[in-house]
Chains A and B, each alone.
Chain A
Amino acid sequence: MRTKNLLLGDEALALGALHAGLTGVYAYPGTPSTEITEFIQQHPLAKERNVHSDWCVNEKTAMEAALGVSFSGKRALVCMKHVGINVCADAFVNSGMTGANGGLVVVACDDPSMHSSQNEQDSRFYADFAMIPCFEPSSQQETYEMVREAYDFSERNRIPVLMRLTTRMAHSRAVVETGDVRNENELHFPENERQWVLLPANAKVRNVQLIKDYASFEEQAETMGFNRYIDGADKSMGIIACGIAYNYLMENYPNGCPYPVLKVSQYPLPTAMVRRLAGECKTLLVLEEGQPLIERRLKGFLDTPVEIKGRLDGTLPRTGELTPDCVRVALQLPELEKNAPSQVTVPRPPALCQGCGHRDFYTALNNVIHTYPTARVFSDIGCYTLGWLAPFHAFHTCVEMGASLTMSIGAANSGVHPSVAVIGDSTFTHSGMTGLLDAVNSNANITLCISDNLTTGMTGGQDSAGTGRLESICCGLGVAPEHVRVIIPLPKNYEEMEKVIREEIEYKGVSVIIARRECIQTAKRHAAQNKK
């Protein structure tokens, strides 16, 4: 039975995967990908079938667990934000080498314009060099349908598949008509066992095979129907529109586009279709959400007979997400009549919630740190990154998950004192624990502060992998128990907190301060649940 639902792109993907016969979803929360896993966690079909959906410690453990599902012949989904693919890159790239047995779909949600991220990296590049096919839907309905096709492609070709969403697809709702529900696969093991043992002797054989298969992936990209050549009468320009860029193009031509258009939603790039377009048109305009992957490849650096326009020549902005407006400019259509921006509005940056424990921790830390002019504080990814803004200005660096701790080791090795790391509880278990072992092994003179709000706060309050076990984890990694201190970040405790922070800064060696108080957002939610 077909039913209509109002779904986010993320939710359409989740439902598509469930209906395609999913056995497990493996993920670490990250905007804009979090809602995929949350949707599956709440869905009755997932509960009925006992689909695995617990959060993973990080994207690498997620990718590897999913590879294990695929090896066992069943279907797995891995979800992450774009920078998560850096964390699981080793597993992801090598999954191209092992190939897949049960269908394996990896979802990367890119965040052009950096609404909630530290960079604009485009996950299509990973698919390209790992020789893994990539699907990039342009609507919520297409997302739902494409997931099942991606599983079928994965099983037919014995290869993992990357699905790339961007923020405006992941976090936009539309009506989605859903189809039938398929069963999970039965347990069955790979036919070619050698392929899963990546000893050089086996990997060399597999590499040659993968390159051969890649030609067939491209042929399928020409014929599966996600890439479409839509002819137009005006051959002065041909347009390549990838993913949701196609929507912005058509928004500007409500009565149909006058130019030939190649709509691209599946990679490897269908080169025969591109050749046809280039052969028929005088110029090419490339509309890509994210970085200029196709444009750069077409353009190269030698002159081409066809002029190629896009992000590299300034026809479109070099950075930031596409909008119907910047696409309109690129199409040289007249501007719509519009108001000037208001002269009185001022920016309203996000801030730590009133009453948040990170606030009280930063206040106490600042009071101590300001008495040490040489102190440097290395922070990390999470709500507490907002502590860089006024009024706290509480740290000097924030780079990527886990870098606080390990950068503080390098700084201490270079003679910085006090060298203080600030990390959240979930970020600590994601990518801090191995760094702490480094610190212990070299007895680095650092003070690690874990601001523990008992949840993964920034993404909306998902479970945190180490809740209730942080002290034993730190002691287990070798930190002296007397230098694992717990404080409760509240204004009434400032004196005690500052005393502990000062003592541990003065201790020559690895110390850990856990500032523990529940996130006020999850505390409110728990209080409301208890009332019922």
Chain B
Amino acid sequence: MKQDIILCGVGGQGILSIATVIGWAALDQNLYLKQAEVHGMSQRGGDVQSNLRLSSAPINSDLIPLGSCDLIVSLEPMEALRYLPYLSPTGWIITNSTPFINIPNYPDMEAVNGELNKVKNLINIDVDAIAKEVKSPRSANMVLLGATAAVLNMLEPDKLREGITQVFMRKGQAIVDTNIAAFNAGLEYAQKHTLK
């Protein structure tokens, strides 16, 4: 069993804390894991991505081959589309629906949504709005992780919750609770609105 994940977004949005939680849970479950990150110049408001591979068997490449990514998890809708050639024919896109516009030529949202809707397996979710609804406005990335948990077969939601607790514990119980609330809201949304 394996799942290959591309985490993406704009530098500073917080894709690495999603990776950290998944990483903790994978280590706890004795899974094999490789996660290639982007550091340095590209972090300054540019597009960022991380290749995260989970498997029950040893993993060779740190990079995911074209056409074989199982989940594209994006904090930004246009950024989700950037990695389309990597998506497997049976793969999922789980993306935030709110654009992050820091460039003058950002495409028309209708065109972005048009391309996203062509993808067979799509969870398009307004993570910022849901995070606010559950009073966790700074945990939008955990809403996205929750939505991802609906299709992340390699790890049980409970293991991811445990990961959130471990990763955020040093910041205090209140921060853990808001992140768990955000995670639960994302998971619930994905289960209710998208999956049959």
Question: Measuring CB to CB, which residues of chain A are less than 8 angstroms from any residue of chain B?
Answer: 4, 6, 8, 31-32, 34-35, 115-116, 168-169, 171-175, 244, 247-248, 250-252, 323-325, 328, 335-353, 383, 386, 458-460
Q: Select from chain A the residue with minimum beta-carbon distance to B110.
A: A344
Residues of A within 8 A of B79 (CB): 345, 348
Q: Are B46 and A248 in contact (CB under 8 A)?
A: no
- In this assembly, does B47 line the interface, its C-beta being within 8 Å of a C-beta of chain A? yes
Interface residues on B, range: 35 or more
Q: Are B40 and A116 in contact (CB under 8 A)?
A: yes
CB distance from A29 to the nearest CB of B (A): 10
Q: Are B40 and A383 in contact (CB under 8 A)?
A: no
Which of B63-71, B150-158, B179-187 sits within the interface?
A: B63-71
Interface centre among B41, B45, B107 (most CB of A within 10 A): B41
Residues of B within 8 A of A335 (CB): 66-67
Residues of A within 8 A of B136 (CB): none
Q: Are A383 and B89 in contact (CB under 8 A)?
A: no
Q: A348-B47, A350-B44, A383-B44 are in contact. Are A169 and B62 (CB under 8 A)?
A: yes
Q: Are A247 and B61 in contact (CB under 8 A)?
A: yes
Q: Are A350 and B62 in contact (CB under 8 A)?
A: no
- Can you list 16 A-B contacts with CB-CB less than 8 angstroms, sorted by A residue number? A6-B23, A115-B38, A169-B62, A251-B61, A252-B65, A337-B89, A339-B67, A341-B84, A344-B111, A344-B114, A345-B81, A346-B78, A347-B47, A347-B103, A348-B10, A350-B41
CA distance A224 to B8 in the complex (A): 41
CA distance A335 to B68 in the complex (A): 11
Q: A346-B106, A350-B11 are in contact. Are A168 and B63 (CB under 8 A)?
A: yes
Interface centre among A174, A252, A335, A352 (most CB of B within 10 A): A174
Find residues 91-148 in chain B having any chain A CB closer than 8 Å to their own CB: 102-103, 105-108, 111-112, 114-115
CB distance from B122 to the nearest CB of A (A): 13
Residues of A within 8 A of B65 (CB): 251-252, 323-325, 328, 336
Q: Select from chain B the residue with minimum beta-carbon distance to A343.
A: B115
Q: Are A173 and B37 in contact (CB under 8 A)?
A: yes
Residue in B26, B36, B42, B89 whose CB lies within 8 Å of A172: B36
CA distance A386 to B11 in the complex (A): 15
Q: Are A344 and B27 in contact (CB under 8 A)?
A: no
CB distance from A135 to the nearest CB of B (A): 18
Interface centre among A115, A168, A350 (most CB of B within 10 A): A350
Q: Are A172 and B34 in contact (CB under 8 A)?
A: yes
Q: Are B44 and A351 in contact (CB under 8 A)?
A: yes
CA distance A168 to B37 in the complex (A): 8
Q: Are B23 and A338 in contact (CB under 8 A)?
A: no
CB distance from A45 to the nearest CB of B (A): 20
Q: Are B81 and A344 in contact (CB under 8 A)?
A: yes
Q: Which 6 pairs show the lowest CB-CB distances between chains A and B? A: A338-B67, A116-B40, A31-B40, A350-B46, A336-B67, A342-B81
Question: Measuring CB to CB, which residues of chain B are less than 8 angstroms from any residue of chain A?
Answer: 10-11, 23-24, 26-27, 32-47, 59-68, 78-79, 81-82, 84-87, 89, 102-103, 105-108, 111-112, 114-115
CB distance from B100 to the nearest CB of A (A): 9
CB distance from B89 to the nearest CB of A (A): 6
Q: Are B41 and A458 in contact (CB under 8 A)?
A: yes
Residue in A336, A344, A386, A459 whose CB lies within 8 Å of B66: A336
Q: Are A351 and B102 in contact (CB under 8 A)?
A: yes
CB distance from B23 to the nearest CB of A (A): 5
Residues of B within 8 A of A32 (CB): 39-40
CA distance A459 to B84 in the complex (A): 30
CB distance from B59 to the nearest CB of A (A): 8
CA distance A169 to B78 in the complex (A): 28
Q: Are B44 and A175 in contact (CB under 8 A)?
A: no
Give me 9 other A-B pairs in contact (C-beta within 8 A), A342-B81, A348-B79, A350-B45 excluded: A6-B33, A31-B39, A32-B40, A115-B41, A115-B42, A171-B36, A175-B27, A248-B61, A348-B10
CB distance from A361 to the nearest CB of B (A): 16
CA distance A343 to B61 in the complex (A): 28
Q: A350-B41, A353-B44 are in contact. Are A6 and B34 (CB under 8 A)?
A: no
CA distance A349 to B27 in the complex (A): 34
Residues of A within 8 A of B39 (CB): 31-32, 34-35, 116, 171, 460
CA distance A6 to B86 in the complex (A): 25
Q: Are B43 and A173 in contact (CB under 8 A)?
A: no
Residues of B within 8 A of A325 (CB): 65-66
Q: Are A350 and B42 in contact (CB under 8 A)?
A: yes
CB distance from A382 to the nearest CB of B (A): 10
Residues of A within 8 A of B63 (CB): 168, 248, 323-324
CA distance A341 to B35 in the complex (A): 23
Q: Are B84 and A342 in contact (CB under 8 A)?
A: yes
Q: Are B102 and A339 in contact (CB under 8 A)?
A: no
Q: Are B33 and A173 in contact (CB under 8 A)?
A: yes
Residue in A4, A337, A339 whose CB lies within 8 Å of B27: A4
CA distance A335 to B115 in the complex (A): 23
Q: Are A171 and B89 in contact (CB under 8 A)?
A: no
CA distance A353 to B46 in the complex (A): 10
Q: Are B40 and A174 in contact (CB under 8 A)?
A: no
CA distance A348 to B37 in the complex (A): 18
Q: Are B61 and A338 in contact (CB under 8 A)?
A: no
Q: A6-B27, A339-B87, A344-B107 are in contact. Are A251 and B60 (CB under 8 A)?
A: yes
Q: Are A339 and B35 in contact (CB under 8 A)?
A: no
CA distance A257 to B45 in the complex (A): 41
Residues of A within 8 A of B107 (CB): 344-346
Q: Select from chain A the residue with minimum beta-carbon distance to B107.
A: A344
Q: Are B41 and A344 in contact (CB under 8 A)?
A: no
Interface centre among B39, B45, B66, B102 (most CB of A within 10 A): B39
Q: Are B40 and A459 in contact (CB under 8 A)?
A: yes
Q: Select from chain A the residue with minimum beta-carbon distance to B35.
A: A173
Residues of B within 8 A of A336 (CB): 65-68
Q: Select from chain A the residue with minimum beta-carbon distance to B81.
A: A342
Residues of A within 8 A of B68 (CB): 336
CA distance A116 to B42 in the complex (A): 7
Residue in B26, B46, B86, B106 whose CB lies within 8 Å of A349: B46
CA distance A352 to B46 in the complex (A): 10
Q: Are A353 and B45 in contact (CB under 8 A)?
A: yes
CA distance A338 to B114 in the complex (A): 19
Residue in B34, B86, B106, B108 whose CB lies within 8 Å of A174: B34
Q: Select from chain B the residue with minimum beta-carbon distance to A10.
A: B39
CA distance A175 to B81 in the complex (A): 30
Residues of B within 8 A of A349 (CB): 46, 103
Residues of A within 8 A of B106 (CB): 346
CA distance A342 to B34 in the complex (A): 27
